[in-house]
Chain A
């Protein structure tokens, strides 16, 4: 049953990641523009948010289409020019909104996960 369990864990992690990944990507651009490979490295270092690298590009493409980020090409001292992603005003607004929602969300989940459950009273 061990392999099944780890598959289930991976699936649960993937589900969670799906919801928060785009906000983490937006957060990475909060202070300065970043290019794709740079964003992927940061996600990888985080551990839990590491994902198959190639799947981040469709996400970036959507953020671009939704006008949450803009891109500019910049020459690099080494290698080809990089496409830098930067937050737009609406991208920043979306990130702020998520930042407000997230602590309450995280605390609520923690409340459910930690024992004893406040509403677990079972009427005899």
Chain B
């Protein structure tokens, strides 16, 4: 009467599951060590049941936790744990965040241009959006540069030229058209960035 479940296999599967945060190579090594231990013990103590051997080995979660702790120390910078600290967290914001920060304030100021203080807030949010875009892991360096130029630099330069020089035609209608063109460029660039993001 052999049951189809194999306690040893279940046990090793549990260790594998609990140790999923471990680099694959380290995890396989741990599983091989445990499997070897079980085999050797079985050969040395034929009377011991698989259940006894596994109970002596201990809780899979404890073993996995120990393995994770050991992987964290001992100066093994090549492992996933060497880089699992702060550097990975940086740039892990959702790709939509910088794009919305670049686009929405521009949209709002285009239509609410006479609200005091709004332009300053909008400018700060757009700069923050540009920084997030540059530190994001979702785009290549080239795309980041193109994105920042088209969504931040170009509209800002155009705005300054428009206000500070006399090349622009006077009147509200041309200004609105220019703003809509700039908005289209910003929104179009954001859409392009969104569609070309890496997961």
Interface residues of A (CB under 8 A from B): 35-37, 40, 52-55, 57-62, 65-66, 76, 78-80, 82-83
Assess the B40–A35 pair: CB atoms within 8 A.
yes
Q: How far is the CA of A80 from the CA of B43 in the complex (A)?
A: 8
* A40 CB contacts on chain B under 8 angstroms: 37
Contact A53–B37 (Cβ < 8 Å)? yes
User: Are B58 and A59 in contact, CB atoms less than 8 angstroms apart?
Assistant: no
User: For the complex, is B57 an interface residue (Cβ under 8 Å from A)?
Assistant: yes
Contact assessment for B40 and A59 in the assembled complex, using a CB-CB cutoff below 8 Å: no
- Describe B's contact surface by its main secondary structure: helix
Tell whether, in the assembled complex, residue B39 and residue A55 are in contact, meaning their CB atoms are under 8 Å apart.
no
B interface, CB within 8 angstroms of A:
15, 26, 29-30, 33-34, 36-37, 39-44, 56-60, 62-63, 66-67, 69-71, 73-76
| Contact present for B33 and A61 (CB under 8 Å) | yes
Contact across chains for A80 and B36 when beta carbons are under 8 A apart: yes
> What secondary structure prevails in chain A residues at the interface with B?
helix
Instruction: Tell me if B62 and A83 are in contact (CB < 8 A).
Output: no
Is the beta-carbon distance between A79 and B43 smaller than 8 angstroms? yes
Determine if B70 and A61 form an interchain contact, defined as CB atoms under 8 angstroms apart.
Answer: yes
B57 & A80 in contact (Cβ 8 Å cutoff): no
Query: Contacts A37-B41, A54-B62 known; A65 to B74 CB distance under 8 Å?
Result: yes
Known: A54-B57, A55-B62, A55-B63. A61 touches B30 (CB 8 A): yes
Of B37, B60, B67, B75, the contact of A58 (CB 8 Å cutoff):
B67
Q: How far is the CB of A23 from chain B (nearest CB, A)?
A: 14
The answer to whether A61 and B62 touch across the interface, beta carbons within 8 angstroms, is no
User: Is the CB–CB distance between B57 and A52 below 8 Å?
Assistant: yes
Closest residue of chain B to A64, judged by CB? B29
A82 surroundings in chain B (CB, below 8 A)? 36, 40
Which residues does chain B contribute within 8 Å of A55, judged by CB atoms? 58, 62-63, 66
Residue of chain A at shortest CB distance from B42: A79
Interface centre among A54, A55, A59, A80 (most CB of B within 10 A): A54
Closest B residue, CB atoms, query A59: B70
Of the A-B pairs whose beta carbons lie under 8 Å apart in the complex, a sample of 22, sorted by A's number, is A36-B40, A37-B44, A52-B59, A52-B62, A54-B60, A54-B63, A55-B58, A57-B34, A57-B37, A57-B67, A58-B63, A58-B67, A58-B69, A61-B30, A65-B76, A66-B74, A66-B75, A76-B40, A79-B40, A79-B43, A80-B39, A80-B43
Which residues of chain B are near A54, meaning CB under 8 Å? 15, 34, 37, 57-58, 60, 62-63, 66
